[in-house]
Amino acid sequence: MALFRRRRPADPSNADTTSATSEFWEAWPEVRAALGDAVANDQPAPSEVSDRVTALVRRIHPDLDWEVGPAPRSTGSAEELDLSPDVDPEKLLQQLAAMDDPSHLTSAPEYAMTLRPGSSDDARVQSERWARSAPDDDQWVFRPVRTADLDQLTSSVRWDDHELDLSHVLLSVRVNPGTSKIDVGVYHPDNMFLSDESRAGIADHVVLLALGEDDYVLWIGRVSALEEKPVDPITPANLPAVVKQMGDMLGGQDGWVRGTYKLPLVGGGEILLRHPLHRRTFPALTLATHVIVPFTETDEDKQPAGRSEDALASLEATLESLLGDNGALFGRRTDGGKRQYLYYLDPDSGVLPQFENALMDWPDGEIKLRTELDPGWRHISLFRKPFRNLLG
């Protein structure tokens, strides 16, 4: 295998962020207990602690906010079991045994600290790096963004001295073709008793609970409070399904677009692109990894067939399993007896050497690999450029 690596360019801003993140974790033991007590007693953290944490978080990125609260509870239900075809049977038995042991519910973290990047993609990248660099802490879970919490949509919330039962909320949804986003109207029977500011706050709160911060930023356009019950309403619990339909409509099958083409003297080609592709979906992946894999057995369109097709499928499955959350395939192009892959990896995860090892001993020739730090995703833009008509 030939390796063509480029040196990582110096990035002073990244160095500053790394330093700020390290400073946060160095200070964490000094603020940890006070934050935990605040959550346990359902009280705000002492102002000196809150101010210090805010300053530390804003050093990581000025657009970041933060919050603490109870950690999400594991239900120990069957839905949480790993039932994938390649799961280790021993691991599955351990999961089943843990479900029968009531002590597993008490060993979970008690508290959660969440960073809030809002609509800033740069802040979202830094919050992800903050969470990935967190120390082991059996009492705390660290989240880079607020996640969906459908359970809260069936409970009550106190908002500006009003107690609101969120189970009575209904939504209107409309796809805005100009923005390719969803405009949401939020109705609650008590909206008529609330100020405009409170109604707007509740509306935002409901959509955030239904989707989480990332999907809210990616898919939601205008959120407004409604005074009258909408026609053909949906419940907030149905909003994630609407968002998924929107993604399927804008993208391809399961978030991928596939196309074929012909090249002079080369023959048939096939392209596979992740679409739509959003920075917030993969905020930590900044190491562009270009892999060129030759193959020898082809069909009449000069696409891989027989043993070569099986070997490529096996390699792709191996790489996907190996990378987990530390990398992802962004694009694949097949023509001229070779298949090109563009992966993006988390450069701080240490997964690159394992990735390289998985490419060794390829039976159909020499694999070529090139890596380059690419925080702006320039390489995938170039990879996709010839196929803009396919993407729409």
Q: Which pair of structure tokens corresponds to residue 330? A: 């962004």
Q: What is the pLDDT of residue 273?
A: 95
Residue in 287, 268, 276 with CA at minimum distance from that of residue 349: 287
Classify burial at 322, counting beta carbons within 10 Å of its beta carbon; exposed 0-12, middle 13-18, buried 19 or more.
middle
pLDDT at 107: 66
Report CA Rg, the chain: 24
Q: What angle do CA 268, 274, 276 make, to 5 degrees?
A: 125
Say what the pLDDT of residue 3 is: 46
Residue pair 243/219 in contact (Cβ under 8 Å)? The answer is yes
**Residues of the chain where predicted confidence (pLDDT) is lower than 50:** 2-13, 75-80, 84-86, 102-106
pLDDT at position 160 is 83
Q: What pLDDT was estimated at residue 177?
A: 86
Query: In sequence order, what are the residues at sequence separation of 6 or more whose Cβ sits closer than 8 angstroms to the Cβ of residue 294?
Result: 337, 338, 362, 364, 365, 366, 367
Amino acid 78: pLDDT: 47
pLDDT at 101: 52
Closest CA to 294 of 331, 265, 337, 357: 337
Q: What is the C-alpha separation between 142 and 121, in angstroms, rounded?
A: 19
What backbone torsions phi and psi does residue 5 show, to the nearest 5 degrees? Answer: -105, 145
Two tokens, residue 309: 């097709």
CB contact at 8 A, 308 and 295: yes
Structure tokens at 144: 């880079």
The pLDDT, as a whole number, for residue 90 is 56
Question: What's the pLDDT tens digit per position in 17-71?
Answer: 789 999 999 999 999 999 999 999 999 999 999 999 999 999 999 999 999 999 9
Query: What is the pLDDT, as a whole number, of residue 252?
Result: 58
Round to whole Å and give the CA distance between 219 and 182: 6
- CATH 3.30.70 residue ranges of the chain are 256-391
CATH of domain 256-391: 3.30.70
pLDDT at 15: 57
Pairwise CA distance, residues 263 & 131, whole Å: 45
pLDDT digit string (tens) for 346-377?
A: 999 999 999 999 999 899 999 999 999 999 99
Identify the pLDDT of residue 79: 46
Packing angle, helices 121-132 and 47-60, rounded to 10: 110
Query: Residue 88's pLDDT is what?
Result: 55
Predicted TM-score (pTM) of the model is 0.81
Q: Which residue has the tokens 């990616």?
A: 218
Integer Cα distance of 208 and 214 in angstroms:
9
